[in-house]
Amino acid sequence: MRVLKFGGTSVGTAERIKEVANLIHDNQQKIVVLSAMAGTTNSLVEITTQLYEKNHDGANEIITSLEAKYEKEVDELFSSEDYKTRGHELIKSHFEFIRSFTIDMFTVFEEKAILAQGELISTALFHFYLQEQGKQSALLPALDFMRIDKNNEPDSEHIQTHLKRCIEEQGDHATYITQGYICRNAFGEIDNLQRGGSDYSASLIGAAIGADEIQIWTDIDGMHNNDPRYVENTQSLSELSFDEAAELAYFGAKILHPTSVLPAKLANIPVRLLNTMEPKAAGTLISSKQHKERMAAVAAKDGITAIKIKSGRMLLAYGFLRKVFEIFESYKTPIDMITTSEVGVSVTIDDNSHLDEIVNDLKKYGTVEVDHDQVIVCVVGDLVADNKGYANTIFDAVKDIPIRMISYGGSNYNLSLLISANDKKKALNLLSDKLFN
Ligand code: ASP
Ligand code: MG
């Protein structure tokens, strides 16, 4: 069995939904995982923001315009009166549910329930559409098997047992359809896998059923060897290892959610990135195969802040780093990059919400310097220590760009440089010229 995930733009209009239905039509058994139609989750988030602010008129306005958009798509999607009526009834019931929160109390529980509506609607519409076309399919409610534990980590055992049960209950079908993103938490309440989490759902489902392949369908032809927004003539990568893909996904390749590589990697299930606009193109195959002695790609992560702590007390001392890290931990702020010397340590963060408090606390241990508007540029490839000369090639490429931090050796697949945001485009192009052209 294969798992096929389609993102928000792939099911963004009635037209696109029809294309997806065509695309999945073959004789192989599959689970189709869908996101909400593009823009829906953003609108649902806005609705919940209004409701937290007790602005019921504001919420109602967004609800009404979102509902109108769905009414239009339903009319375009279905051709028979029977299915048009079913579609409209479906939309009506979901929006009545969303509206019910404008008169009731509003807490995080209701928020999660509202956020789940997008995927519930897209999958139900898709299911109806296949039925109308005379194609057989079954819905597997993600809320019946997808679950996270008390630490918000997926509960693999629960997912596996209950997904199997759901499939058995539905009997044999060519196509099963389920929702991405949504799940239940340790208390059985409706929850989600965080924004963009449908890729994660697909990977978890693939791992749970031991799928032959997990396909992530988007509107780009796979992962590229550099960022096409800043560099001309980037190329789509035909193959990547799980480790390389994880680094790239984290460092800005928007095509794949970073968390989604791990379940597939652990279960050793290949992930294929494919393009709905060009279904015949090969895309990118992510697997355990590591290309030797190859620089695969360059990526950049924006919005980075660097913090340097200098202290005489670090010299020959132990426990200094722990104290520094504890400060970041106490503000739940993850550290991305780190470099050390005997008299100081530099770290980077991409979440500035507690920057002032963090800096204040760090001052207990030394002098603190902060640099804003930094970018991590990372080169991903076979960078194992045995390979000679790669660092030299990389540094030669960027020899005219000031470098604030260097990180190498953290994994075998990544060399990262911290530079000013102003130099980002230049660095990406220089690296592309040197490494790929
Ligand atoms: N619909 C959710 C979002 O927009 C999940 C996803 O699309 O992956 O974040
Ligand atoms: Mg998405």
Q: What is the C-alpha to C-alpha distance for residues 270 and 215, in angstroms, rounded to an integer?
A: 8
Of ligand 1's atoms, which has the minimum distance to the CA of residue 195?
Answer: 9
- Picking from 47, 197, 196, 36, the residue whose alpha carbon sits closest to that of residue 117 is 36
- pLDDT tens per residue across span 316-348: 678 888 999 999 999 999 999 999 988 889 999
Q: Is 123 touching ligand 1 by the criterion CB < 6 Å?
A: no
- pLDDT tens per residue across span 232-251: 999 999 999 999 999 998 88
Could you give the 3-state DSSP secondary structure of residue 52? helix
- Picking from 160, 263, 152, the residue whose alpha carbon sits closest to that of residue 203 is 263
pLDDT at 271: 98
- pLDDT tens per residue across span 153-187: 999 999 999 999 999 999 999 999 999 999 999 99
Does residue 283 come out as left (phi exceeding 0), alpha (psi in the -120 to 50 range) or beta? left
pLDDT at 315: 64
Two tokens, residue 423 = 């130099």
- Asked if 74 and 13 touch (Cβ cutoff 8 Å), the reply is no
Q: What is the C-alpha to C-alpha distance for residues 349 and 355, in angstroms, rounded to an integer?
A: 9
pTM equals: 0.92
Q: Is 122 touching ligand 1 by the criterion CB < 6 Å?
A: no
Q: Is 12 touching ligand 1 by the criterion CB < 6 Å?
A: no
What structural domains and CATH numbers belong to the chain? 2-218 (3.40.1160.10), 296-435 (3.30.2130.10)
- pLDDT tens per residue across span 188-244: 999 999 999 999 999 999 999 999 999 999 988 899 999 989 999 999 999 999 999
Ligand nearest to the CA of 256: 2
Output the CA 3–ligand 2 centroid distance in Å: 16
Q: Is 36 touching ligand 1 by the criterion CB < 6 Å?
A: yes
**What burial class does residue 429 get, using C-beta atoms within 10 Å of its C-beta: 0-12 exposed, 13-18 middle, 19+ buried?**
middle
Give the residue with greater pLDDT, 258 vs 316. Answer: 258
- Asked if 285 and 313 touch (Cβ cutoff 8 Å), the reply is no
| Residue 311: pLDDT band with limits 50, 70, 90 | confident
Q: What angle do CA 213, 216, 220 make, to 5 degrees?
A: 135
